[in-house]
Structure 1
Amino acid sequence: MNNKAPIGIFDSGIGGLTVMKDIVEHLPSYDYLYLGDSARTPYGNRSFESIYQFTLQCVKFLFKQNCSLIILACNTASAKALRTIQQRDLPTIAPEKRVLGVIRPTAEVIGLHSDTGHVGVLGTSGTVQSGSYEIEIAQQFPNLSIYQQACPMWVPLVENHEHNAPGADYFVTKYLDQLQQQSPAIDTLLLACTHYPLLLPKIRHTLDSNISVLSQGPIVAASLEDYLQRHPEIDEKCSTNGTHRFLTTDAPELFDQHTSTFFGQTVESEFVKV
């Protein structure tokens, strides 16, 4: 009997496709099952309890698809739901399965990129308010100074295909200025939202060339490879046919309209109820 199944990738909507794109490029042989909870996106302005319940429902759905490993590509879900799911739910509902997030892998390496010890985190209001990055980074690099900036207009700009338009320059400059006012010594910026890499050209154009800008996708992809090497008991449960399947809780045609922007190619998604 073949118990192998795809690696599940979950996001509150479509932004997690930027992370999946890097994972697929880094680990192309695996099968992947993407679930976007587009019917309830965005998660960033919702309560802790709502985000936890929504995320848990989607995790359980992916478990029913036999996924033994799930990546929460959503920063808000990673910040507000992951720890509770790992500590409270998994031991009861699926002790042999694993759910990983995007915050820990980033926190484990961000300090290696900074010379000044001053790091900026750009995220949604929900991610910033959770304080998750401050907590995780402090555990790995206690001497780093962390400065956070919420960028509430960046996701709408990307989802409305305005991220390359001249009007986006105002909001890119606004939030970067607010962050740098907190500390002129910041030399490393983390894009702590899956939508933000699409604004990277404008971000780099606005910043001094000596400031490093990190996107999460490549970091998460490298961390996943390391995790699978260290946990062969999980790796052997992951199927390797190089297939990709996309599920959405909203209209597939709406989901599919945006995939080329985030994933680099068009896809055909399927509607599901979780």
Structure 2
Amino acid sequence: MCPIGIFDSGYGGLTILQKLQERLPQYDYLYLGDNARAPYGSRSFDVVYEFTRQAVTKLFDLGCNLVILGCNTASAKALRTIQQNDLIAYNRTHPSPDGTPGNRRVLGVIRPTVEQVGSITKTRHIGYVATEGTVRSNSYELEIAKFFPDIKVTGQACPLWAAIVEAGEADSEGADFFVKKRISQLLAKDSLIDTILLGCTHYPLLIGSLRKAVPEHIRIIPQGDIIVESLADYFRRHPDMDARCSKGGTTAYLTTENPERFRECAKIFLHHTIEVERTDLA
């Protein structure tokens, strides 16, 4: 089996996995959550890079030819270095069965997201909400500037949002309070924003609170559907990689933390019970 690998520092990537399972159910998937070392949001670039590199290597070693970083922080702080350095070295030292250099790939969630904003915003002012680490990296600003230099981008860090989701409080009054607080701060920075990107894969579970806090004329853009369409397009453009991803319709789950805790928290994201095994990365 050569499943598609989905990596996240914790649980947020399950929202991406769920969309993939719904829209591309024929593929095999292997989800890996580094829950023992989560959250990544406030960690340094070097630490996030090293943790992400270990996870990607693990997924490669388990048979994945394609790995998706379902974590915005990992995509922001580690993807470019892994693609430019580690991926080349791994493919060289781990050849394909026919002896040719390996053809493994790592994709992120930020670039596919920003490629869509040009056709969405009318005012050319967009905002995004994300973890402190993603906002501090300026990855959304830098990526959007490459494609749409005329768009003004404003970010807002949202401490506690991910923790609220994982605590099962996404539909609570507390969630409403903290979501409204950060949205108000974002819109105070730029009143012309007409599009808000959800730059953390936990945040779709807060959509109820977001719709209460965000004015009706502003569009809220989750990443799940965008990532699915991007992956489907990637396979159309790279049929060789599509052929190297097994299609048995299965999903396996790994965590670096307690499997029982992962199983319980995963219900919040997936709405059903899963089987999960523990693994080590370091």
Counterpart residue number, 2:168: 161
Counterpart residue number, 1:78: 75
Alpha carbons 1:21, 1:264 under 8 Å: kept: no
| Deviation readout 1:155-186 (Å, 9 max, x if unpaired) | 11111112211122211111000000011111
SS of alignment partner, residue 233 of structure 1? helix
- TM-score by length of structure 1 reads 0.97
- Return the alpha-carbon distance in structure 1 between the equivalents of residues 271 and 82 of structure 2: 31
- Return the alpha-carbon distance in structure 2 between the equivalents of residues 160 and 11 of structure 1: 18
- Return the alpha-carbon distance in structure 1 between the equivalents of residues 198 and 270 of structure 2: 17
- Equivalent residues in 2 for 1:118-157, closer than 5 Å: 118-157=125-164
- Return the alpha-carbon distance in structure 2 between the equivalents of residues 147 and 51 of structure 1: 23
> What percent identity do the matched residue pairs reach?
52
- Return the alpha-carbon distance in structure 2 between the equivalents of residues 7 and 100 of structure 1: 11
- Equivalent residues in 2 for 1:1-274, closer than 5 Å: 4-94=1-91, 95-274=102-281
- Return the alpha-carbon distance in structure 2 between the equivalents of residues 213 and 177 of structure 1: 14
- Return the alpha-carbon distance in structure 1 between the equivalents of residues 25 and 106 of structure 2: 20
- Return the alpha-carbon distance in structure 1 between the equivalents of residues 174 and 200 of structure 2: 20
| Deviation readout 1:126-172 (Å, 9 max, x if unpaired) | 00000011011111111111010000121111111122111222111
User: How far does residue 264 in structure 1 lie from its aligned partner after superposition?
Assistant: 2.8
SS of alignment partner, residue 273 of structure 1? coil
Alpha carbons 2:4, 2:65 under 8 Å: kept: yes
- Return the alpha-carbon distance in structure 1 between the equivalents of residues 81 and 248 of structure 2: 32
| Deviation readout 1:24-78 (Å, 9 max, x if unpaired) | 1111100000000001000001111110000000000001011000000000000
- Return the alpha-carbon distance in structure 2 between the equivalents of residues 64 and 6 of structure 1: 11
Residue type at the aligned position of 2:259: P
Counterpart residue number, 2:98: none
- How many pairs align? 271
- Structure 1 stretch 120-129 or stretch 108-117: which is displaced more? 108-117
User: How far does residue 87 in structure 1 lie from its aligned partner after superposition?
Assistant: 0.2
Alpha carbons 1:134, 1:146 under 8 Å: kept: yes
User: How far does residue 207 in structure 1 lie from its aligned partner after superposition?
Assistant: 1.5
- Return the alpha-carbon distance in structure 2 between the equivalents of residues 206 and 250 of structure 1: 34
- Return the alpha-carbon distance in structure 2 between the equivalents of residues 120 and 269 of structure 1: 36
CA RMSD in angstroms comes to: 0.9
